[in-house]
Amino acid sequence: MKQDKIRVAVFGYGNIGKAVEEAVSVTNDMTLAGIFHHQEMESLLAAQPDIVLLGVPSREVPQAAQQLLEKGLNTVDSFDIHTRIPEVHRCLNEAALAHKAVSILSAGWDPGSDSVVRALMQALMPQGITYTDFGPGRSMGHTVAAKHIEGVKDALSMTIPLGTGIHRRMVYVEIEKGCSYNDVRDAILKDDYFAHDETHVIEVDNVKALNNVAHGVHLSRNGVSGKTHNQRIEMTMSIDNPALTGQIMVAAARAAMRMAQRQQFGCYTMIELAPVDLLEGNKEEWIQRLV
């Protein structure tokens, strides 16, 4: 007997929503129950999906996920405000348990698959330091902060890894007519987003011409296994940012459905998921191929 496909709804249709749509379209075990814009919560509920993948901005995720869980719908998000994750985890866990649903929180690449790699590094070498070096790639948060500076018409903030978790900010700005580059530069350098890092502000004619969704990360740990020092491990990625995020959310949706089927209701981050649950198809075949 062939199992029914997982009916996936996409809520929010920006970069991430589009990437989720693409990632669902190349699976064999999922089908789209619909794509819903922000204000279309009612139509979403009417579509009765098995699971909702949230493509709304991070700050709106906790409320949207809570609302969906309270309707008994499973959710996946790529919530990326690191400092708020423990609190959101607790809230969504309560809602998920109360309504017998599964919620996967922060299923992107960082937080997300990088978190899994950090957990694995920690398990292999419990004593030591893990460094996460981002980039080169666009920082959404810093780009938005730069765009808000007076006199900035458009901006792009690139994150450049300098090693040991230290980053350089390369900020490309288009200046509003009649405004001064020097004023803009000084305001950016004083902004809390930039004041703590080496920051370079560069005036350009056309920020759009620089746009590129590529990103990267390098995770490294030199640690101790048992009593043996100098155990070294590193991981490097160079990726299309939204494509990877969409793919991870789709993989997490599969894991969520499996958790729900086993009645393991609640909210989970990716370090709480068995990696094999992320994969399409038969567990036994993956054990044969991957272990």
Which residues contact its own copies (rule: CB under 8 A)?
19, 22-23, 25-26, 82, 85-86, 89, 106, 109, 111, 113, 115-120, 122-127, 225-228, 230-240, 243-244, 246-248, 250-251, 269-276, 278-280, 283-284, 286-288, 290-291
Q: Using CA of residue 162, residue 237, residue 274, residue 224, what is the dihedral sign? A: negative
Bridge partners, 189 (sequence order): none
Nearer to its own copies (CB atom), residue 110 or residue 154: 110
Instruction: Name the nearest CA neighbour of 138 among 224, 36, 241, 41.
Output: 241
Q: How far apart are CA 133 and CA 217, in angstroms?
A: 6
* Token duo for residue 197: 């890092």
- Judged by CB, which is closer to its own copies: 143, or 247? 247
Nearest Cα to 77, choosing from 55, 101, 49, 46?
55
As measured in angstroms, the least distance from the Cβ of 46 to its own copies is 27
The residue (of 137 and 151) whose beta carbon lies closer to its own copies is 137
Q: What span, in angstroms and rounded, lies between the C-alpha atoms of 212 and 158?
A: 10
Classified as helix, coil or strand, 168 is strand
Comparison of 160 and 233: residue with beta carbon closer to its own copies = 233
> Which one, of 236, 234, 243, 158, lies nearest residue 197 by Cα?
158
Quote the distance between the C-alpha of residue 100 and its chain's center: 25
> Nearest distance from residue 193's CB to its own copies, in Å?
22
Q: How far is the CB of 151 from its own copies (least distance, A)?
A: 36
Which is closer to its own copies, CB of 113 or CB of 139? 113
**Single-letter amino acid, residue 157:** S
Q: Taking the complex as a whole, how short is the minimal distance between the CB of residue 104 and its own copies, in angstroms?
A: 12
The smaller minimum CB distance to its own copies, of residues 135 and 151, is found at 135
User: Smallest Cα–Cα separation from 139: which of 153, 158, 126?
Assistant: 158
Least distance in Å: CB of 143 to its own copies? Answer: 21
Q: How far is the CB of 120 from its own copies (least distance, A)?
A: 6
CA 235 vs. chain centroid, Å, equals: 17
Residue 139 burial by Cβ neighbours in a 10 Å radius (0-12, 13-18, 19+): buried
- Closer residue to its own copies in complex, CB, 130/199: 130
Q: Cα separation of 255 and 273, whole Å? A: 7
Residue nearer to its own copies on the CB measure, 26 or 195? 26
Cβ neighbours, 10 Å, residue 45: 16
